[in-house]
Amino acid sequence: MEHLINDRTANIEISGIRKFFNMVGGTEGMISLTIGQPDFPTPEHVKAAGIKAIHDDFTMYTHNAGMIELRKAAAEYYLKKYDIVYDPDSEVIITSGASEAIDIAFRTILDWDSEVILPGPVYPGYEPIIRLCGAKPIYADTTRNGFKMTVDVIKPYITNRTRCIVLPYPSNPTGVSLSEKELYEISELLRDKDIFILADEIYSEIVYERPHTSIAKFLKEKTIVINGLSKSHSMTGWRIGMLYTFNNIAKHIIKVHQYNVTCATSISQMAALEALTAGIDDALPMRAEYRKRRDYVYNRLTEMGFDVVKPEGAFYFFVKIPVSGIKSFDFALSLAHEAKVAVVPGSAFSSLGEGYFRLSFAYSMDTLEEGLNRIENYLMEVSK
């Protein structure tokens, strides 16, 4: 019966990140620097709120868009953190993780043969959804621009089919972000064009050089903001995302969300309410620790002679492979077999990631130190 499977589904593949992790993750003695999973536990007070919700039998459906108390807290969060006003009644949707928010946004705005401009390299979770919608991903080459998708990079890729531009900053896999000036320039470029912006801001609280700025500050009426608590509050498994957008767009997205999941889990919503109120600054101590790790890894990588851009946010390095003529998958596989260190091949982040690998520093200092020692020894061996 496989021949009856929808062609668009049959032709997409499992994420290259997960594929490589599954391939080498079970090897004895392997140090994995692959997954973007914070190594901090969910804050105790947030867990307590979830446990209380269970004991209080708060296990029913909520409003499709999420509890109004949570939507108010989410709106207040964006006002306090990023100075943007959203109406909790009509412009905020609580989703089952940021991934669902991306899915329902694309399914709402994309038609057959629409084009979506993405920075390349980029997180691999966008392309499959775009293709499932019958639309076409267009990768803008950022490799010669410090991995930044600025106005000059975007312009050549805009056509009369362009429906959306994705701005995933701070970036997975590169860790770069866009300045307020760069975002404003993009907003001016798109102000008079019928093009949506999907701003994936899941790492907005994990920033090191300057506070995060959302492009919605300049062009709210065309921007769909994606955020969530997975990275900021180490709540990946709770599956709470937040979608913010202008009410004329949100009223259509909520229909797709309703028929997709009905509502986000009520227990996780109660934990999220605690995270966004009493825990509004829970990310700050985690951010401070990530900064220490970033600086340590950056110094080690540069001392080894790697060509790297210092991350401004998130918790990844996108590292140029120093060995010429080797594919990123082959390099990562060799590193895993010979040094027992797992990283993600750059090709997992589109063809523009070829020649690089991604290293996550969302791990303890001990793990990072041992992993980098092994990488250094591996390089010394292959250079003989």
In order of their start, the domains of the chain are 2-42+282-382 (3.90.1150.10), 60-276 (3.40.640.10)
Tens of pLDDT along 95-146? 999 999 999 999 999 999 999 999 999 999 999 999 999 999 999 999 999 9
| pLDDT above 70 as % of the chain | 97
pTM of the model: 0.95
Determine the pLDDT at residue 381.
84
For residues 318 and 118, what is the distance between their CA atoms, to the nearest angstrom?
Answer: 17
What distance in Å separates the CA atoms of residue 148 and residue 142, rounded to the nearest whole number? 6
What residues of the chain score a pLDDT lower than 50?
A: none
State yes or no: cis peptide before 121, omega within 30 of 0. yes
Sign of CA dihedral 60, 62, 64, 65: negative
Query: What stretches of 13-67 show up as alpha helix (H) in DSSP?
Result: 16-24, 44-55
Q: Quote the pLDDT of residue 251.
A: 98
- Per residue in 169-204, is it b (16+ CB within 10 Å) or e — as a string? bbbbbbbbbbeeebbbbbbebbeeeebbbbbbbbbb
Rounded CA separation 234/200 (Å): 17
